[in-house]
Amino acid sequence: MEYSKNDICLIDFNPAKGGEIGKLRPAIIISGDEDNRILSTVIVIPLSTTIEADALPYRLTLPIREKLDKVSDACINEIRALSKIRIKEKIASITLEEEQIIRKSLCQLIG
Protein backbone atom coordinates (compact mmCIF):
# COMPACT_ATOMS: atom_id res chain seq x y z
CA MET A 1 0.00 0.00 0.00
CA GLU A 2 1.24 3.49 -0.87
CA TYR A 3 1.17 6.26 1.73
CA SER A 4 1.70 9.98 1.26
CA LYS A 5 2.90 12.86 3.38
CA ASN A 6 -0.01 14.35 5.37
CA ASP A 7 -2.04 11.12 5.36
CA ILE A 8 -3.62 10.17 8.67
CA CYS A 9 -3.37 6.39 9.07
CA LEU A 10 -4.21 3.88 11.78
CA ILE A 11 -0.89 2.67 13.17
CA ASP A 12 -0.05 -0.01 15.74
CA PHE A 13 2.28 1.67 18.26
CA ASN A 14 2.62 -1.45 20.44
CA PRO A 15 4.81 -2.38 22.15
CA ALA A 16 5.32 0.96 23.86
CA LYS A 17 8.15 1.53 26.35
CA GLY A 18 8.22 3.94 29.28
CA GLY A 19 6.17 7.06 28.55
CA GLU A 20 5.78 6.37 24.81
CA ILE A 21 2.36 6.49 23.19
CA GLY A 22 1.05 2.98 22.56
CA LYS A 23 -1.91 1.03 21.14
CA LEU A 24 -3.61 1.22 17.75
CA ARG A 25 -4.23 4.89 17.00
CA PRO A 26 -4.25 7.41 14.17
CA ALA A 27 -1.02 9.18 13.24
CA ILE A 28 0.03 11.73 10.63
CA ILE A 29 2.70 10.64 8.16
CA ILE A 30 5.12 13.56 7.91
CA SER A 31 8.02 11.96 6.02
CA GLY A 32 8.33 13.01 2.38
CA ASP A 33 6.77 11.04 -0.45
CA GLU A 34 10.13 10.05 -1.99
CA ASP A 35 11.34 8.70 1.37
CA ASN A 36 8.01 6.91 1.86
CA ARG A 37 8.52 5.12 -1.47
CA ILE A 38 12.09 3.95 -0.90
CA LEU A 39 12.48 3.45 2.87
CA SER A 40 10.96 0.71 5.02
CA THR A 41 10.04 3.26 7.68
CA VAL A 42 7.87 6.37 7.90
CA ILE A 43 8.07 9.34 10.25
CA VAL A 44 4.79 9.94 12.09
CA ILE A 45 3.12 12.16 14.66
CA PRO A 46 0.61 10.19 16.76
CA LEU A 47 -2.86 11.51 17.56
CA SER A 48 -4.63 11.41 20.92
CA THR A 49 -8.25 12.02 21.88
CA THR A 50 -7.02 13.60 25.12
CA ILE A 51 -7.28 17.27 24.17
CA GLU A 52 -5.00 19.90 25.69
CA ALA A 53 -6.15 23.39 24.72
CA ASP A 54 -3.61 25.97 23.55
CA ALA A 55 -0.69 23.52 23.75
CA LEU A 56 1.36 24.56 20.70
CA PRO A 57 4.13 23.73 19.90
CA TYR A 58 3.54 20.39 21.65
CA ARG A 59 0.02 19.67 20.38
CA LEU A 60 -2.31 20.80 17.60
CA THR A 61 -6.03 20.04 17.83
CA LEU A 62 -7.55 18.55 14.67
CA PRO A 63 -11.30 18.53 14.00
CA ILE A 64 -13.30 15.49 12.86
CA ARG A 65 -12.86 14.67 9.15
CA GLU A 66 -13.29 11.75 6.77
CA LYS A 67 -12.85 8.57 8.91
CA LEU A 68 -11.23 10.47 11.82
CA ASP A 69 -14.40 10.38 13.93
CA LYS A 70 -13.15 12.14 17.08
CA VAL A 71 -11.52 15.51 17.69
CA SER A 72 -7.85 14.68 18.24
CA ASP A 73 -4.59 16.30 19.28
CA ALA A 74 -1.55 15.79 17.06
CA CYS A 75 1.14 15.03 19.67
CA ILE A 76 3.96 16.85 17.89
CA ASN A 77 6.51 16.17 20.62
CA GLU A 78 5.91 12.41 20.21
CA ILE A 79 7.34 12.26 16.66
CA ARG A 80 8.60 8.77 15.75
CA ALA A 81 10.02 6.70 12.93
CA LEU A 82 8.20 3.37 12.56
CA SER A 83 8.22 0.38 10.25
CA LYS A 84 5.61 0.49 7.49
CA ILE A 85 4.34 -2.91 8.66
CA ARG A 86 2.72 -1.06 11.60
CA ILE A 87 0.42 0.88 9.21
CA LYS A 88 -3.09 -0.55 8.96
CA GLU A 89 -5.13 1.86 6.78
CA LYS A 90 -5.48 5.47 5.67
CA ILE A 91 -8.39 7.25 7.35
CA ALA A 92 -7.95 10.95 6.47
CA SER A 93 -5.48 13.72 5.61
CA ILE A 94 -4.37 16.99 7.17
CA THR A 95 -4.65 20.33 5.37
CA LEU A 96 -1.70 22.33 4.06
CA GLU A 97 -2.37 24.93 6.79
CA GLU A 98 -2.18 22.22 9.47
CA GLU A 99 1.03 20.90 7.88
CA GLN A 100 2.59 24.39 8.09
CA ILE A 101 1.63 24.73 11.77
CA ILE A 102 3.13 21.30 12.54
CA ARG A 103 6.32 22.13 10.61
CA LYS A 104 6.71 25.43 12.51
CA SER A 105 6.06 23.66 15.83
CA LEU A 106 8.68 20.99 15.08
CA CYS A 107 11.23 23.74 14.35
CA GLN A 108 10.41 25.37 17.71
CA LEU A 109 10.77 22.05 19.53
CA ILE A 110 14.19 21.21 18.12
CA GLY A 111 15.33 24.82 18.38
> Each residue of 39-92: pLDDT tens digit?
999 999 999 999 999 999 999 999 999 999 999 999 999 999 999 999 999 999
Write the burial class of residue 48 (CB in 10 Å: 0-12 exposed, 13-18 middle, 19+ buried).
middle
Q: Closest Cα partner for 86 from 20, 29, 19, 6?
A: 29
Q: Is the pLDDT of residue 2 over 90?
A: no
The rounded distance, in Å, linking the Cα atoms of 80 and 43 is 6
Q: How confident is the model at residue 108 (pLDDT cuts 50, 70, 90)?
A: very high
Rounded to two decimals, what is the model's pTM? Answer: 0.95
Domains of the chain: 7-110 (2.30.30.110)
Helix (H, G, I), strand (E, B) or coil at 24: strand
Mean pLDDT, the chain, integer = 95
pLDDT of residue 21: 85
pLDDT of residue 27: 98
pLDDT of residue 15: 87
Around Cβ 71, how many Cβ atoms within 10 Å? 13
Q: Is the pLDDT of residue 1 over 80?
A: no
The rounded distance, in Å, linking the Cα atoms of 102 and 47 is 13
Give, for 83, the enclosing helix (H) or strand (E).
strand 80-83
